[in-house]
């Protein structure tokens, strides 16, 4: 976990989280970079694609859910203390950072934006499942698991922090309704998070694609190409 791949030469910075266990080169290999190539060439956006840490944390079914969440701190610290300063220096203040991702990367984008809206005021989340306790989780859930489960901590937001978040962050939740969107829990999870954010008055847009749109890279390429131009 030390890789950052940059794509583009200038424009609004976009931090791209790969799918489960993916690496910094996944967005390019899977065609996500070429899908928004016109934005990169025009200097409207610049992608910063990062490695995942999922094998050591959320996807490690040999350890309890609380330990997975505790290990996620390492990834969180790397993103906030090393990757974000690099992006800010490299982009020369070209604009606020967008967080984006697909599948498990969508969870990361939403979680980082909701916890650190001062850094990521916008998240583009494609086909995410936002409830880590449902990911073959076992063992007692503690504070770390709670504060990395948007369906838990958003439900308890209130007061001044909630008021601040309402004016600071926007979450775009995109999901198909085709193959694997149900078995991965992505369709249900996307609807649940959208409903929760709406109930709290946090800016959220729910965009459900058709029943012929599966949980797969061709879908995410189309969704990314459709939505990113709106924000760059």
pLDDT digits (tens, 9 = 90+) for 152-166: 999 999 999 999 999
DSSP structural state of residue 18: -
- The overall average pLDDT reported for the chain is 95
pLDDT, residue 153, reads 97
Cβ proximity of 196 and 190 under 8 Å:
no
pLDDT, residue 93, reads 79
Report the C-alpha gap between 104 and 19 in whole angstroms. 5
pLDDT digits (tens, 9 = 90+) for 19-29: 999 999 999 99
pLDDT, residue 152, reads 96
Cβ proximity of 127 and 121 under 8 Å:
no
CA 139 to chain centre: 25
pLDDT band for position 133 (50/70/90)?
Answer: confident
pLDDT band for position 203 (50/70/90)?
Answer: very high
Report, as an integer, the average pLDDT of 122-148.
90
CA 156 to chain centre: 21
pTM above 0.75, yes or no: yes
């Amino acid at each position: 976990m030390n890789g950052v791949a940059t794509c583009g030469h200038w424009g609004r910075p976009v931090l791209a989280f790969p799918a489960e266990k993916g690496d910094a080169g996944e967005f390019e290999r899977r065609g996500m970079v070429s899908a928004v190539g016109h934005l990169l060439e025009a200097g409207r956006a610049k992608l910063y694609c990062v490695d995942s840490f999922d094998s050591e944390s959320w996807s490690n079914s040999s350890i309890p859910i609380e330990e997975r969440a505790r290990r996620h701190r390492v990834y969180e610290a790397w993103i906030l203390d090393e990757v974000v300063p690099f992006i800010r220096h490299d982009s020369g203040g070209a604009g606020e950072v967008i967080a984006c991702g697909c599948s498990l990367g969508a969870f990361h984008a939403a979680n980082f934006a909701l916890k650190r809206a001062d850094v990521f005021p916008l998240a583009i989340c494609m086909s995410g499942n936002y409830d880590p306790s449902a990911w073959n989780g076992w063992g007692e859930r503690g504070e770390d698991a709670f504060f990395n489960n948007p369906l838990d901590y958003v439900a308890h937001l209130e007061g001044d922090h909630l008021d601040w978040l309402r004016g600071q962050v926007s979450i775009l939740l995109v999901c198909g309704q085709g193959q694997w969107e149900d078995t991965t829990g992505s369709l249900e999870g996307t609807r649940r998070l959208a409903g929760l954010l709406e109930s709290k008055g946090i800016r959220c847009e729910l965009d459900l694609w058709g029943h012929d749109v599966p949980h797969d890279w061709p879908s995410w390429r189309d969704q990314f190409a459709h939505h990113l131009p709106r924000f760059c």
